[in-house]
Structure 1
Amino acid sequence: MGRLSDFKDIRISTGQSVSIVNFAGRSSRSYALGNDASTLHKFGKYTVLLTTEGTSINGNMTDFSGTANGAAYTWICTDCSTFYWTKLRFDRFSTVSNKAFVSFQGQTPTHKREKLIRYDLTTVTDSYFPQVMPSNVLTLNVYSTRVEFYFNNIINGSSWRKPYIGRKGYIFAPNLWTSAANDFNYEFRDDSQLYNFTMNVIKASFPASSDKMTLKIGSGAGTPAVNNTYPRDLFSSQKVISNGNYMQVGLSASVAADVRLSFEMQKVNPASTVGILIAFALAIFYVL
């Protein structure tokens, strides 16, 4: 067939042939990516970019195509398996529609994975970041806007695990992003102060008897105020709210398990605790 440099015209595959790319030599910094052309035609622009472990990247992504599906950007980390998205800001002066959005899905458009996260112009704030995305390949769909972004592929993920007042975010079963072991264990902890943690179970499907998810919220090394195991506690606690200086959530599940969570961290409100104590005291008084 020849070298890659010999090809001047790129042709769309008819689906009736197979192309084999062989990179000569023992090592190569070249990569080949194949997409089903039918999944790309709907985008006004499609861009593929590479990154590596330990890097931080910022820049802008745009869509001024005027097409119904906007632009798509596929990011590939060649030697890591996790993206930490730390900033996403819409340029309001360059946004051509109040319906502007950016959505995230695992892998390439050809994989046709579900768009798991969508940030809209009118609702997204810095409080949604950092956000973990456990995949070596991500595709972003940008619609009718220019967005400034910042992400890193730093392996320790310490910023992801750090709580702060007002923080919001999402957690998904890894297999919804990519073909990987369907488990995680995240602990958000700050021993210097208390938080009001909220965990919402958007969806939880555990088809195998061995599938299990755990949720703990507490303070220090004592017994957690919340110590739930799912699916056992699913119907009684689809939304869990509790005070503590840590929240720990873990999943160990089969590839078919589907778990989607959202969380929020707010300042502890002493008045809410007082209200509970008053109600309890009145109940005792009434019984007496």
Structure 2
Amino acid sequence: MSGLLRRFVREPPAVAAALVLIVIVAAALLGPVVWQPSPSAVNHAVLGLPQPPSAAHPFGTDVLGRDQLARALQGARISLTVGVTAMLVSMLLGSLYGAIAGLAGGRVDALMMRFVDAMLSFPTFFLIITVEALTNRFSVALIVLIIGLLSWMGVARLVRAEVLTLRERDFVEAARALGAGPVRLIARHLLPNALAPIAVAAALAIGDNILIEAGLSYLGLGVQVPTASWGNMLQDALGEAGLNAPWLIVAPGALIVVTLLAFNLLGEGIRVAFDRSIAQE
């Protein structure tokens, strides 16, 4: 693990991305302590007149006089919660499904992969919108569950491909000879050795989930006001202020772009670190 970390820190973009994400996570967690204004408090004195960035409001205020920095920090907590939790759901489902398919092989593997192909034929974002619209409920927990349950297929294919290679290795054959069953083979031998693609997919999935949540909230199918998310902040900015208050668009838009870029660079750094580790073995 220490060798893997040393190889990771040799990738400056990945290290920079990790530092940016640490700052974003720290700001999201410590925001309510450090920055006191309530994200939902309406200032009637400036109602209908969004205020530009100032010392009192570094990100400005919206048409309701709400502090945009406080709302951006609340949005960060929502986005990171959705991104990480939905990633855990999809990684768990996809890893187990792919490992079972790869270990079973034959007709079972073929049948399981055809189901994955069928699921992948539906655009994930529009499938999520359909489920959201049918349920007519828009809670953070439901958003996490829907995203997690509808975004595991890519992970399943990655893990299945890795397991197809690993199951022919000597250490797996030795475990079989010693009486290890499918559960033990998957938990102790296959999934730990398929960690590289899972770790890369996890980093990329968080960014994808954040983007999906922002898109849903922008369309009014995600986090509902007065709770702030980066997506509904953009919706409010474009719908109410437009070009007259560009700071309302810049703040959430920049946070989405920077966070997604950071997670993509982090995933690339993890991939390169694992590749170098395997090359040196």
Q: TM-score, normalised by structure 2?
A: 0.23
Higher strand share: 1
Bigger relative CO (Cα 8 Å, ≥ 6 apart)? 2
TM-score (norm 1): 0.22
